[in-house]
Amino acid sequence: MSVTSTFTVLNHYREYLLERYDNFPHGRYVSVILIRKTESETIFRTEGSGEGLVKELVTAGRREATREPIQRVVISKRKQTAVERRVGRELLREHGLLGTVTVGREQRPCALNTNAPCGKCIDCMVYGYAAGGGGAQKSRVMTDDAYSLAPASLVTGTRTFNATFDNGTMRNPFDGKPSTSINEDEYVLPETHFLDTETLKDVTPGEFQYVLGNILRSSRYGAISSRQGRVRNMITAVIFSDTEIFSNLELTQEVYDLLLEAQGGNELDVPLNDALVERCVQQATDTLLRDLVGRPPLVVRGEALGRLLEETLMLYREPERLKGLLEEVTASYKDLP
Ligand SMILES: [Zn+2]
């Protein structure tokens, strides 16, 4: 018996998933609506870029009274999936399920951000790859930049520090004098909420479990070199549909309006209450889905969502079963044309 056939909860939603991987698009979408909340001071920036926090000027809300521009902190889409891919690849590595690539006379394991992806492992097949020597797979996990609910001015802080020298101290290794160069670091405050949707397109039940597991097991999204921020991902709904749903920005703006109404002020009161944010996200989801052109989507939340997530948690608690599933999914790519 295959591991896939044991997903009694997920298999209820089978008509929205693919039986097996196919090269052609089928228009089956699974959107995972997420609240990402920082649990410590966090710096989101593209690794090694040396840049500060990314902020963008966008419209605050969707009501007449809130259509004014504000700055929001942005977590780039690349940043989000890079973290989750790494978490998934650790698992594949542990079970020997990353493919190998021949580079010159060498056999190398599939690696991220190199010119030599294997094109055969679950990561390459789900999140996509482009090989230098030809061959490509479009990502079937679509993400967008995520925005902070509150304006940047309310959820960021800055700290100055003396730059360290090569030897990792504040003293010059040559003359022993203290560092005089001052750097400034801008960070996101703890308990800042971001809204995000990850859209999975044409995935199989096994691939769905893999991506969901990666989201649930990722907790460090900050810049690697400096302070690592802890982020908690809370899934508020899983939506099955035959078309793409609303954007992150629309959702953020609608929730912003609902929060203002609930709090009864002109500016958000931060830190925001988790339960209130979740309630507003649910309400905003319903409002925005009404504008969707397509077959009415199936929204899984509340108890039904709890059962779906529980099934994923159980799978990840049983290493042998999980390994079996990952092997099954990997094998399903073998006989592709
Ligand atoms: Zn690969």
Write the pLDDT tens digit of every residue in 50-70: 567 899 999 999 999 999 999
> Rounded to an integer, what distance in angstroms lies between the CA atom of residue 42 and that of residue 55?
14
Task: Return d(Cα 121, Cα 97) in angstroms, integer.
Answer: 7
The percent of residues in the chain predicted with pLDDT above 70, rounded, is 87
- For residue 11, the CA-to-ligand 1 centroid distance in Å is 27
Both tokens assigned to 21: 């991987």
Name the amino acid, one letter, at 179: S
Give the DSSP H or E segment for 232: strand 231-241
pLDDT of 25-50, one tens digit each?
Answer: 999 999 999 999 999 888 876 544 55
- Confidence label for 145 from pLDDT (cuts 50, 70 and 90): very high
CA of 169 to the centre of ligand 1 (A): 39
Torsion of CA 220, 221, 227, 230, to 10 degrees: -50
Query: What was the pLDDT predicted at 182?
Result: 61
In terms of average pLDDT, the best of 172-181, 219-228, 289-298 is: 289-298
Q: What's the average model confidence in pLDDT over 212-229? A: 74
What distance in angstroms lies between residue 335's CA and the mean position of ligand 1's atoms?
A: 16
Q: How far is the CA of 224 from the centre of ligand 1 (A)?
A: 23
Q: How far is the CA of 22 from the centre of ligand 1 (A)?
A: 17
User: pLDDT at position 113, please?
Assistant: 72
CA of 327 to the centre of ligand 1 (A): 14
Q: How far is the CA of 106 from the centre of ligand 1 (A)?
A: 16
Higher pLDDT, 223 or 137: 137
Q: Separation of 207 CA from ligand 1 center, angstroms?
A: 14
Residue 47 CB coordination number (10 Å): 12
Quote the ligand 1 centre to 19 CA distance (angstroms).
22
Convert the pLDDT of each residue in 307-335 to its tens digit.
999 999 999 999 999 999 999 999 999 87
Taking the centre of ligand 1 as the mean of its atom positions, its distance from the CA of residue 103, in whole angstroms, is: 14
User: How far is the C-alpha of 134 from the C-alpha of 264, rounded, in Å?
Assistant: 56
pLDDT band at 135 (very low <50, low <70, confident <90, very high): confident
State which amino acid sits at residue 216. Answer: L
How many angstroms does the Cα of residue 83 sit away from the middle of ligand 1?
16
CA distance 276 to 269: 12
* pLDDT(223) > 60: no
Structure tokens, 64: 């007449």
In the reported structure, the alpha carbon of residue 300 is separated from the centroid of ligand 1 by a whole-number distance in angstroms of 31
**Cβ 97 vs Cβ 326: under 8 Å:** yes
The pLDDT mean for the chain works out to 89
Q: How far does residue 96's CA lie from ligand 1's centre (Å)?
A: 11
For residue 138, the CA-to-ligand 1 centroid distance in Å is 13
CA of 49 to the centre of ligand 1 (A): 25
Rounded to the nearest angstrom, the distance between the alpha carbon of 127 and the centre of ligand 1 is 10
What digits encode the pLDDT tens for the residues 195-205? 999 999 999 99
Residue 92 structure tokens: 């594949």
Which pLDDT band holds residue 102 (cuts at 50, 70, 90)? confident
Residues 121-129 have a mean pLDDT of: 94
Q: Domain locations in the chain?
A: 4-95+132-151+190-332
269 Cα: distance to centroid of ligand 1 (angstroms): 45
Q: How far is the CA of 60 from the centre of ligand 1 (A)?
A: 40
pLDDT exceeds cutoff 60 at 226: no
Give burial (CB, 10 Å; 0-12/13-18/19+) of 331.
exposed
Could you tell me the distance, in angstroms and rounded to a whole number, from the CA of residue 137 to the centre of ligand 1? 11
Supply the pLDDT for residue 225. 42
How much of the chain exceeds pLDDT 90, in percent?
66
Question: What does the pLDDT look like over 258-308, one tens digit per residue?
Answer: 999 999 989 999 999 999 999 999 999 999 999 888 889 999 999 999 999
Q: pLDDT-based confidence at 173, cuts 50/70/90?
A: low
Half-sphere exposure (Cβ direction) of 323: Cα atoms closer than 13 Å: 7
Q: How far is the CA of 313 from the centre of ligand 1 (A)?
A: 25
- Per DSSP, helices labelled H in the chain are 77-94, 122-127, 152-155, 205-217, 248-263, 274-289, 302-317, 319-332
Give 81's contacts (C-beta < 8 A, 6+ positions apart): 127, 139, 141, 143
Would you state the pLDDT for residue 330?
96
Would you state the pLDDT for residue 93?
94
CA 112 to ligand 1 center in whole angstroms: 8
Give the pLDDT confidence score for residue 68 in this predicted structure. 96
What share of residues in the chain are helix, strand, coil (percent, to 5)? Answer: 35, 25, 40
Higher pLDDT, 50 or 8: 8
Instruction: Tell me how far apart the alpha carbons of residues 46 and 223 are, in angstroms, rounded to a whole number.
Output: 7
Contacts of residue 68, defined as CB under 8 A and 6 or more positions apart, other chains included, come to 59, 60
Distances in whole angstroms, Cα of residue 188 to Cα of each of 24, 158, 263, 275, 281: 41, 9, 22, 21, 21
Query: Ligand 1: distance of its center to the CA of 89 in Å?
Result: 9
Judged against a pLDDT cut of 90, whether residue 187 lies above it is answered with no
Q: Ligand 1 centre and the CA of 98: distance in Å?
A: 6
Mean pLDDT of 122-144: 88
